[in-house]
Chains A and B, each alone.
Chain A
């Protein structure tokens, strides 16, 4: 069967005509993307410079080292740069924990906003019976100072960001834990290692959906 599939795919791929010229629209789209990246980078630089200036003047939320602004601001992290791991613990009938996204690339990149979470079972994405709600960041819950540069989280090589997660009411009791996938803004989805082995929260009522609360990206504490 394997060799048959291999041969078939190789033959089937030749159904597609060769790409003999560069599409005209590609140039326009590339120009637009480069300009957009430059605008975002410029905005990030301006925000970081403003924050540094305000910190120097004694104004602003977080005292501490003045952020070093590199010559070329990092781009948004791509899914290929990131590895996602998660862990949760029981907490009064629900499960609380975090998803940690580690920058595996050799370059710095940034994360901002709140990711989209997807739960999957053996049939694929679970599209009903789950309610996704925003949650505050961990530093807000802990009453800690706002991290420098937040809501933009800059990850150097091997740096990590975290996302607070709270999960409740998984019905019926005994239902297997789902696979978790995190979709970063503007990018594709990354499967989260570790959450499929979490003991699911108890079912409090099948009439209500399972609740998943998701916080925004924030620097990994410690």
Chain B
């Protein structure tokens, strides 16, 4: 009985997920790329996001909510990944007891990438970077960004302001 129910769920949810993937994956992968700096990782994260969302499709009453739900899931998977990588990198630095050049602080972006804005963006903390990408690429309001990042709108304002200042300082430093 349970097997039959699962089979029916599997077929309908799988085809729905396929349709949703073709409709929404492009935007999701671009967002994940801007958050992580790594195109291959972005595709993996988005695939993971779709798998997670698949489990809740039956309970998503409003089809318009899918986009927002997917965006939240992508942002949080990207942030979790960046936090884990930062902890791993700190651990390796301590283990090796040597200073490493922070050419690509939080992402897998190429060392050959010389775009100053890209380089400056990759050096931001994952919170600042997420806030800036959600505000200026996704064009979300401070309230919407605060909802995704689970913080207050005032905190979003501060993250964006400090992030932009850090980018300005980084670019000025590269120009000298």
Residues of A bordering B, CB below 8 Å? 1-2, 4-6, 8-10, 12-19, 21-23, 25-27, 29-31, 33-38, 42, 72, 75, 78-80, 84, 106-107, 123-125, 127, 181, 187-191, 193
**Contact at B2–A42, with CB atoms within 8 Å?**
yes
Chain B contacts for A5, CB-based, 8 A: 117, 132, 136, 164, 167
Q: Which of B13, B25, B115, B117 contacts A34 (CB 8 A)?
A: B13
Number of interface residues of B (CB under 8 A): 59
- B55 touching A191, Cβ below 8 Å: no
- Nearest A-chain residue to B91, judged by Cβ: A127
Instruction: Compute how far the CA of A19 lies from the CA of B42 in the bound complex, rounded to whole angstroms.
Output: 11
Which of B51, B151, B152 is most buried by chain A, counting CB atoms within 10 A of its CB? B51
Q: Can you list 14 contacts pairing A with B, beta carbon distance less than 8 Å?
A: A2-B136, A16-B26, A16-B30, A18-B26, A19-B26, A19-B43, A25-B47, A26-B21, A27-B14, A30-B51, A78-B52, A80-B72, A125-B87, A189-B80
> Is the Cβ of B51 less than 8 Å from the Cβ of A29?
yes
Q: How far apart sit A90 and B59, CA to CA, in the bound complex (Å)?
A: 42
- CB B149 to nearest CB in A, in angstroms, measures 7
- Contact of A6 with B137 at beta-carbon distance under 8 Å, contacts A19-B22, A19-B25 already known: yes
Cβ B21 vs Cβ A19 within 8 A: yes
A12 touches B118 (CB 8 A): yes
Q: Does B79 contact A (CB under 8 A)?
A: yes
Which of A18, A30, A106 has a CB less than 8 Å from the CB of B13? Answer: A30
Chain B interface mostly = helix
- Is B6 in the interface zone, CB < 8 Å from A? yes
Question: Which residues of the partner chain B approach A1 to less than 8 Å between Cβ atoms?
Answer: 164, 167-168
Once the chains bind, are B10 and A16 in contact (CB under 8 Å)?
Answer: no
B76 contacts A79, CB within 8 Å?
Answer: yes
Q: Are B21 and A191 in contact (CB under 8 A)?
A: no
Contact of A38 (CB < 8 Å), options: B6, B17, B30, B90: B6
B33 touching A34, Cβ below 8 Å = no
The closest CB in chain A to the CB of B22 belongs to A22
Chain B proximity of A94: nearest CB distance (Å): 26
The residue of chain A having its C-beta at the shortest distance from the C-beta of B90 within the complex is: A127
| Shortest distance between the CB of B157 and any CB in chain A (Å) | 13
- Least CB distance, A20 to chain B, in whole angstroms: 8
Nearest 7 A/B pairs, CB to CB: A188-B76, A13-B30, A19-B25, A9-B137, A191-B150, A6-B136, A30-B54
Give B76-101 as 1s and 0s: 1 = Cβ < 8 Å from A's Cβ atoms: 11011001001100100000000000
- Whether A16 touches B42, Cβ cut-off 8 Å, given contacts A79-B76, A124-B86, is yes
A30-B13, A78-B56, A125-B83 given; 5 more Cβ-contact pairs under 8 Å: A13-B31, A30-B14, A33-B51, A37-B55, A127-B90
Given contact pairs A5-B164, A26-B17, A193 touches B117 in the complex (Cβ within 8 A): no
Query: Are A34 and B2 touching (Cβ within 8 A)?
Result: no
